[in-house]
Amino acid sequence: MSQTQVQETDKPQFYLKEEHHPEHSTMLGFWLYLMSDCLIFAVLFATHGVVGRNYAAGPAPADLFDLNLIAINTAMLLFSSITYGFAMLQMERNAKMETLFWLGVTGVFGAIFLSLELYEFYHLIHEGAGPTRSAFLSSFFTLVGTHGLHVTFGIIWLITLMVQVNKHGLNPENRRRLMCLSMFWHFLDVIWIGVFSFVYLLGVLG
């Protein structure tokens, strides 16, 4: 009997029962990802800077862009960044429902931003100013569309985290994920400010 107990005790363990996630490794890895994304947008901005005035006898930015609509769209994304900040404050208070509320508001602002951007794309294409019309429009649709694609993935990520927080609460894993999404969301705000200034304002007023 005792020999059997000794044999069971001496069985090798092939897994760790304790937490083995290296501290701060996720945040470091996510910072590296954001830096790679910065390079992608830097290339797109540089491309637009080179070909942004090649209109191929087509419409110029002043003929196409509605700055009032773009200003509203910019406000939606900036408001979403503020509401995400409120969500993070509620997370620090360990207030689950309040965190979910502000995350939901953030998602609504993000969805409005995407809707206005899609409306702008539809309007431009309907007017014959599609991405194949000129080098300027090709670079414009690529740059703005890439940013919009990032916002789309951000909203999907946001909804996924809301489900996780609702199910498992504000545990350390969900807090870490919310911090990563926070960096991603604010990063998209910074990129959009560059798009608004460099593409829209300079295009119309320059």
Tens of pLDDT, residue by residue over 109-132, are 999 999 999 999 999 999 999 999
C-alpha of 180 from chain center = 10
Q: What is the pTM of this model?
A: 0.86
Which two structure tokens, joined as six digits, stand for 117? 């951007």
Please give the distance of CA 161 from its chain centroid, rounded to a whole number. Answer: 14
CA–CA dist 197, 35 (Å, integer)? 21
User: What would the pLDDT profile of 23-44 be if each residue is shown by its tens digit?
Assistant: 567 778 888 999 999 999 999 9
Q: pLDDT band for position 13 (50/70/90)?
A: low
